[in-house]
Amino acid sequence: MESSSKTTVGGQPVRRRRVPAAVVVVLVLLACVDTTIGVVSCVADDVSSDLSDQEMACCWEDGATPAWMSGQMGIRIPEAASDRRAGHKGGQRYDTGLLSFVLPADEAETYTGRLIRNGTKMIGNFHPEKKDYRPAAAFGHLGLPEPETLVEGLRKISLCPDELTTPEGKYLQRCVDLFTHGFEPGTTRIYVRSTIEPSMTPPPASKAP
């Protein structure tokens, strides 16, 4: 008696179903598309990162010394201030100025008290930005952390020269975002950011005060 090589169920031969060739082709194409999308996404991320790095490094003007920026903002730098830093970044619609310096904590408190209107208080950073926050004009260009990412010891306020008649506020030339950060016991860093008209170009670095 001959034996059959076909599998049977209940005495009936069972036919093995073949996957149609068209289905196989579609599955292969979908796999290729998925892989391609992944590659394109990675490339796009790299390009975006490169563009961001270029934008962050672009358009910083030489000659923007702390003394020059102080005059443009109307933020007077106390004589006791150390580690003075400044930057000026050109933009399409407006420029941005950065100024920073360090004071002993008690002198920083006195300085901000002479700048801010009576009855006005600086507030804490209750909604900090993420650590990788990169504003268009970053303090990172000056080798400093972004004050918007700091929480402990950070206070901030926005000021405009309109009717500001305090001892230091009367010199203010532009609206500014002011941050103070007690980054170590007894020491406070002042951060100031302001928009500046594009026509206000810093002097050449060799002639800057």
Q: Which two tokens stand for residue 4?
A: 């059959």
Is the pLDDT at 98 greater than 60, yes or no?
yes
Residues 82, 184 within the same domain: yes
User: Would you say residue 27 lies in a domain?
Assistant: yes
How sure is the predictor about 85, in pLDDT bands with cuts at 50, 70 and 90? very high
pLDDT tens by residue, 16-74:
555 566 654 556 555 555 555 554 444 444 444 444 677 677 889 888 999 999 999 99
Residue 12 lies in a domain: no
Domain range for 86 is: 66-129+137-207
What is this structure's pTM? 0.73
Shared domain for 41 and 106, answered yes or no, is: no
